[in-house]
């Protein structure tokens, strides 16, 4: 019984996170409906194929730069809505028709209350930039995370 309650709370938290981010126009699947143990959301892909995870996609340099910019806008949008994904990587981003869609949100944390939010944000950025380093993108994820965190704390996101 305890596991069912815990799982239901997990589903409920992911549902609320998805709704918040979707309503904020983040690149996440549209949440459609939920039960105590599952979430129905829009399919990313077409009728014949699902979108692959970014880790399995090869991009042209200009596509990579545009995709990274869009992902970073989403990271900022998450933070502007008091959220940090907390497990973001090229394995939790789908890519379809040049558009990234961020998935796997049950572990997202509230940046206002989680004492590890900045560390998790930095880890998310480190993981994202690790993927994009194959395209020659050089960055300092710790500096970027700290800059974003400062803007967030000052209400500038």
Going along the chain from its start, the domains and CATH numbers come out as 2-153 (1.10.510.10)
Average pLDDT, the chain: 94
Catalytic, out of 62, 104, 140, 147:
104
pTM score: 0.93
In this model, does residue 68 exceed pLDDT 80? yes
87 given a catalytic annotation: yes
Exposed/middle/buried for residue 80 (C-beta within 10 Å: 0-12, 13-18, 19+): middle
CB 111 within 8 A of CB 117: yes
**In 10 A of CB 144, how many CB atoms?**
18
Per-residue pLDDT tens digits for 23-42: 999 999 999 999 988 999 99
Over residues 90-97, mean pLDDT = 97
Catalytic, out of 87, 110, 140, 147:
87
Over residues 49-55, mean pLDDT = 98
pLDDT value, residue 5 = 44
Helix (H, G, I), strand (E, B) or coil at 147: helix
DSSP class per residue in 37-65: S-EEE--SB-SS-BPPBGGG----HHHHH
140 given a catalytic annotation: no
Find the angle CA(22)-CA(114)-CA(90) to the nearest 5 degrees: 50
């Amino acid at each position: 019984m305890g596991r069912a309650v815990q799982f239901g709370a997990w589903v409920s938290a992911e549902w609320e996170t998805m709704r918040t981010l979707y309503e904020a126009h983040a690149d996440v699947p549209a949440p459609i409906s939920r039960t105590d143990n599952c979430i129905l959301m829009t399919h990313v892909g077409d009728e014949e194929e699902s979108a692959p995870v970014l880790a399995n996609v090869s991009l042209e340099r200009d596509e990579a730069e545009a995709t990274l910019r869009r992902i970073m806008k989403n990271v900022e949008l998450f933070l502007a809505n008091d959220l940090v994904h907390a497990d973001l990587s090229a394995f939790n981003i789908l890519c379809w028709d040049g558009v990234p869609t961020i998935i796997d949100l049950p572990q997202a944390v509230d940046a206002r209350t989680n004492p590890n939010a900045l560390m998790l944000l930095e880890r998310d950025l480190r993981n994202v930039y690790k993927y994009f380093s194959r395209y020659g993108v050089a960055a300092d994820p710790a500096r970027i995370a700290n800059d974003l965190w400062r803007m967030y704390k000052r209400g500038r996101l």
